[in-house]
Each structure stands twice: as C-alpha cells, then as structure tokens.
Structure 1
Amino acid sequence: MADPKPLAGKVILMTGAAQGIGATISNYIAARGASLSLADVQKEKLDAEAQYLAQTYPDIRVFTWSLDVTDPKAVEEWVIESKAKFGRIDGCVNNAGILGDGSQITDMSFDNWSRVINVNLTGVFNCLKVQLRAIEDGGSIVNMSSCAGIYGLHILPAYSASKHGVIGLSKVAAAEHAHRGIRVNAVCPGLVEGGMLKDVQKELPGLTTNDLQVLFKELVPIGEIAAMVGYLLGNESKFITRTVLSVDGGFS
C-alpha cells in the first residue's frame, strides 16, 4: 500500500510560491507531509497561501519570506533563516519566473532581455549557489524550466533562452554534487491553465485561448506538474538525476 505521506518529515524550500504552479505544488507536497519555506515577491498572496496551508494541513509547519530572487544576498538570507528555523533542508523547488514581453529578437529591448534572464536564469543560479551548500546529503532540487526551454518559442526569445539555461545549469549542478547523493532535475511544463496562460494572452493579445490550444495541442492540467515535482522530491525517485522531464502532453 502506498504511503499517503511520503514527504513526511522533509523540509522543502520553494520560490514563486504565491500563485499558479507554485501554489499548486506547495499544496500537493504539504498534503504529502512536507513542511515548507515559501518565498515570493508577492507578500500578501504568499501569506494568504501560507495561512490556507497551515489551516488545511495542521501537522506541517509553514514559513514565508518576501524574496526577489535577483538579489543574491536576499536569497542567501532566506536559505540561512529557513535552515535555522527548521534545522534541515531536504529539497528545493526553484519556480520563480516571468514571461517577459512578447517580441522577436530584432525587436526586443535590452531591458526586457535583461529582466527576464535575471529572474529566470540568474535567479535560479542565486538559489542553487546557496541551496547546494545548505541542503542535506541525499536531498533533491527541482528547477522549473519549460517546454520553451527544449524547442524554443519564437515569440519569446528571452524566456526561451532563460529556460534553456535552466536546463544546462541543472545538469551541471547535478554532476557537481552527485558525490553527496544530491539530485537535481529540470521539469518542463507545457502551457498550463492558470497564471502563465493569462500572461501569454496579455503579451500576445491577438491570440485567443482556442488559438493557444491549437498551438500547444492541449493545455496541461496544473496538477500534473505538481505530481511530477512531488515525485522528484521524494524517496521513490532516488535514481533520477540530471534529467529533463517534459510534462506537456507530448508536444515537445
């Protein structure tokens, strides 16, 4: 019989936890027994999510931190404070990311390029730099990439480049820390119903939901992403590392 709480006793850190995929992941892993340190720039939404989790799963502990992942000192402080509060770190989910403005390479501003790369790629680097030192031997780190990080999305060059970079960084981190039994994997969602879908429609107002469904074949159920991340954080996936896992209905 499967363990209903396979993450019981584990402490998981996650960025981008206030809404969308992040909130769904936090709910999924909380239900499976993990205590959480949740970070996001959206403090009010984050606190509301933490309150919901604490009320719904009274057997876990939830800690929140207002965080801009582009600030390396702030990231270091969050990780150090999280470990001090819980006494250990067993897993991390680096989920913070932005879409950026939709444009072709020739039309993209340097400011837009820099903003997306700084959040999506440098932000993951800032997190890994501290997390890899602080995490327990045998721990697991999941970095959120995208199907755009595999095939490239022609209308989002900065986003696609940043998510390709997350995959490369994940593979390097996995190789560097394999001797400690630390696993690092990248998860690549397709277009998910929720916040990112709204962002795509905002930046590309000519595309309707139906257009996007034709482009991406089908929208990915958000729970599928959470289930994959939860699996990678648990003991059942101890032989999976340095891997890129697509959760996109076969699109990529």
Structure 2
Amino acid sequence: MRPKVTGWSGITASGAVLDGRWREHRPSPRPRPAAWRGAPAEAARHAPARDAAPRWWDERGGSALARQGRATTNTRPVAPGAPHPRGGSPMATATHQPTPPFPKQTLDKPGLESELDPRPRYKAPRYKGSGKLEGKKAIITGGDSGIGRAVAVLFAREGADVTILHLPEEASDARETCAAVEEEGRKARAVEADVREFETCRRVVDEAVSAMGGLDILVNNAAFQQHQDGIEDISIDQWDRTFRTNIYGYFHMVKAALPHMERGAAIINTGSITGLEGVSRLIDYSSTKGAIHAFTKALAQNLVERGIRVNCVAPGPVWTPLNPAERTAEEVAHFGEGTPYGRPAQPEEMAPAYVFFASEADSSYITGDVLEALGGSTTAG
C-alpha cells in the first residue's frame, strides 16, 4: 500500500506524491499568545493509581537527586526577577510557561496534541528567523506534534520547506503543523508512514525529494514509549515495536536519505535523558535512546569525510502527547515537576537546538555531539 500524502489543500490522496499539492502561503499576522494564566479545568478521564517512582528518574519527570530538598507545591508564573515560589531561582517561571500540577488526564495512543491540556507551545513567538535555512529542504519524522511540530515551524521561519511523517491516527495534528509551516511562508507536506518498515521509508523519502527538489536536513524524531513495572511485564511484541520504531526507524530513514544528501547536509536525532541515566520502568525505551546516542556518534565519524554532520538533542521531560498517552492521570498532573526548573520543557524551547544543528552558519564544526537539554539537571551522563 502506498503512503497517503496530504498537501495543505485539505485533501488526502493515495498514489503519487503530487496528488498532495504544494501550496505557497504568504505569512499571515499571528496574534500575540496570551500569558498563561494557570492550569485549566481538570479533564474528566480516569486512570489507575500512580506506581512507585524509580530512584533516578521519578514519575514527575526529573532526576530524583535533583528533587532532594525541594518542595512540591504548585509553581505559577511570576514576573521576571520576582522571588521563586520555592525560594530558588526564578528561571523556572520567568518565561511564563505552564507549570505542574496540570489537569489530570490521559490520552489514547499515539496521542493527539489537540487533546492535551494545556496545549503544548510550539510557535516560539520570541524566536526571530534570520534566513539560516533559506532554500533548504527538510524531512521530520514524528513531525505532526510535540518537538517535531515545533522544529518544523522554526525550520520554516528560517526559510526551509518541510515534509513531515506521521501515523494515520495523527492526521489532524499533521494538518495543523502544515498550516503553521505555511503561515511562515514556506511549503509543507504531510505523509502517513510507519518508519518501522524500510521500504516505506525509502519510498516516502524518494517521493519527498521529488516533490521538494532535494533533501538537506533529516530529523529523526518518531518514538514509541510504554512504561512497565518490571522486565517480566515487557512483552516480546512491545520490545520489538520500541526498537523497530526508535532505533530501526532512525537507521531506515538515514539509509533511505543518504543517497540524496550532499556535502553540507545535516542529520539530527532525538535522544533523551533516559538514554543517559536509564529509567526503571522504561527499560526498552531507555535502551533505544542510549543506542541513538551511540548511533549518532558512530554515524558522525562514518560520514565526516562526506561533509554530512550528525548530531543529537537529548531532552529531559517535554510537554508532548507521548507521556499522557501511556501514563496515569496522576503522573501526568505532576509531569516535569522533578526538574530544577520545576516544570517540563515546552516544544518551542527545544526547537532552537535543532535549528542550531541544521544550520551550517551555527554548527559547521560540530558533529557527533549529544546536546543535553535537561532543565537544569546535571547528574545525567
């Protein structure tokens, strides 16, 4: 079966890539986002009670060591420079980002960003583009939501056209991402694809290159995650799916993309703090993220003579659909609370790191790097 391709005409078609036509849009004025005014009303979904937290990475999304001696009361936005509610640094709230506790909620897998409360922030209104990626062509797996969506928006703001890969269940989120890219004045296309299958990856990459006119940047970002209390609870099917999505998928996409990439191209992988520290209830996921870090370093050495840079961003907890789609409502309510910042990152806070690695102006002498973006945690690695 051929992948479905959506060009931002609101039409989905099976068959040739050009059935989903590119459409150019002039940038439209974007309203200034209102400052966050506290947690919205609770969602009505019910979830089972919260399990005991692992030692190093607790269920509130942070290093257990980083949590020692810290209160767990709610942190609300404060004015820049004002005293932190916990008596610590005001950096956690100076940018007026949402902080725990969040409404108790769960999402059905794979999770839609449009159903998450509060909505993840991806537009990065304070980020000013300067043409760093002018004329570049990018493919982003898992680009429908979360970090992938925020990266697509900032790539477009810097002048790149974007193709995003997503699962069929994520089509509505993918359309929103395409619209956001087009608001930046660039071309966007969305393709339904499962990165676990190499032939699918090769086909969608070939078609994307044909439609966009080249390929300069590959962002491997698609991921699967499922918490389990013990290794006995991890089925063979779950282990296989996690590895085939999180590490086989990266390998498949690189293998499919390399024939189209020239000197100056960039590959950016999404790692995780879990690959640095390990997580008791995420044995398979942590293993794949550690593998991604090693894959990044080895591939960078392999491609350096071809002038293709390979780097990785390893985030701490980020407010995306990934965790609410498979954790308890209580865990979601306190997600990210365990970081020194006292909150998870927003996707718009991760995306500039991907621009940095994609831009030759910024990172021409950097390859094989794993950039940790952990919200102040310093025990990882």
Superposition deviation, residue 61 in structure 1: 1.5
Name the residue aligned to 2:333: 209
Gaps of 5+ in 1: none
Find 1:57's aligned residue among 174, 181, 184: 184
Alpha-carbon distance in 2 for matches of 1:209, 1:215: 14
Q: Is the 8 A contact 2:165 2:191 kept in 1?
A: yes
Q: Is the 8 A contact 1:101 1:112 kept in 2?
A: no
Q: 1:72 and 1:211, CA in 2 relative to 1: closer, same or farther beyond 3 A? A: closer
Q: 1:38 and 1:82, CA in 2 relative to 1: closer, same or farther beyond 3 A? A: same
Higher percent of residues as helix: 1
Gaps of 5+ in 2: 1-127
Name the residue aligned to 2:82: none
Alpha-carbon distance in 1 for matches of 2:288, 2:295: 10
Q: Is the 8 A contact 1:88 1:136 kept in 2?
A: no
Q: Are 2:302 and 1:181 aligned? A: no
Superposition deviation, residue 158 in structure 1: 0.8
Which whole-Å deviations, capped at 9, do the CAs of 1:45-89 have from their partners, x for residues lacking one?
Answer: 2133213322x122x221221110001111001111111122221
Which whole-Å deviations, capped at 9, do the CAs of 1:166-212 have from their partners, x for residues lacking one?
Answer: 1111112111111111000111010012323423xx43455353365
Superposition deviation, residue 221 in structure 1: 3.1
- Residue 222 of structure 2 aligns with an amino acid whose one-letter code is A
TM-score (norm 2): 0.61
Alpha-carbon distance in 1 for matches of 2:226, 2:335: 20
After superposing the two structures, state which structure 1 stretch, 211-220 or 158-167, moved more.
211-220
Secondary structure, aligned partner of 1:203: coil
Q: More relative contact order in 1 or in 2 (CA 8 Å, sep 6+)?
A: 2
Secondary structure, aligned partner of 1:185: strand
Q: Are 2:220 and 1:94 aligned? A: yes
Q: 1:197 and 1:203, CA in 2 relative to 1: closer, same or farther beyond 3 A? A: closer
Q: CA RMSD in A?
A: 1.9
- Residue 129 of structure 1 aligns with an amino acid whose one-letter code is K
Q: Is the 8 A contact 2:317 2:335 kept in 1?
A: no
- Residue 163 of structure 1 aligns with an amino acid whose one-letter code is K
Find 1:238's aligned residue among 364, 367, 378: 364
Q: 1:81 and 1:166, CA in 2 relative to 1: closer, same or farther beyond 3 A? A: same
Q: Is the 8 A contact 1:14 1:36 kept in 2?
A: yes
Q: Is the 8 A contact 2:275 2:291 kept in 1?
A: yes
Alpha-carbon distance in 2 for matches of 1:48, 1:211: 25
Alpha-carbon distance in 2 for matches of 1:249, 1:193: 12
Alpha-carbon distance in 1 for matches of 2:339, 2:376: 13
Find 2:345's aligned residue among 220, 227, 231: 220
Alpha-carbon distance in 1 for matches of 2:366, 2:146: 26
Q: Is the 8 A contact 1:117 1:162 kept in 2?
A: yes
Counterparts in 2 of 1:62-73, with a 5 A limit? 62-73=188-199
Which whole-Å deviations, capped at 9, do the CAs of 1:206-249 have from their partners, x for residues lacking one?
Answer: 53533651267542232221010111101211111011111112
Q: 1:191 and 1:170, CA in 2 relative to 1: closer, same or farther beyond 3 A? A: same
Q: Is the 8 A contact 2:153 2:180 kept in 1?
A: no
Name the residue aligned to 1:20: 146
- Percent identity reads 26
Q: Is the 8 A contact 2:335 2:344 kept in 1?
A: no
The number of aligned residues is 247
Q: 1:77 and 1:64, CA in 2 relative to 1: closer, same or farther beyond 3 A? A: same
Q: Are 2:170 and 1:45 aligned? A: no
Q: Are 2:162 and 1:36 aligned? A: yes
Q: Is the 8 A contact 1:224 1:247 kept in 2?
A: no
Which whole-Å deviations, capped at 9, do the CAs of 1:106-141 have from their partners, x for residues lacking one?
Answer: 322111111111111111111111122221211111
Secondary structure, aligned partner of 1:195: coil
Q: Are 2:375 and 1:249 aligned? A: yes
Runs of 4 or more consecutive aligned structure 1 residues displaced over 4 Å after TM superposition: none
After superposing the two structures, state which structure 1 stretch, 35-44 or 75-84, moved more.
35-44
Alpha-carbon distance in 1 for matches of 2:234, 2:365: 41
- Residue 109 of structure 1 aligns with an amino acid whose one-letter code is S
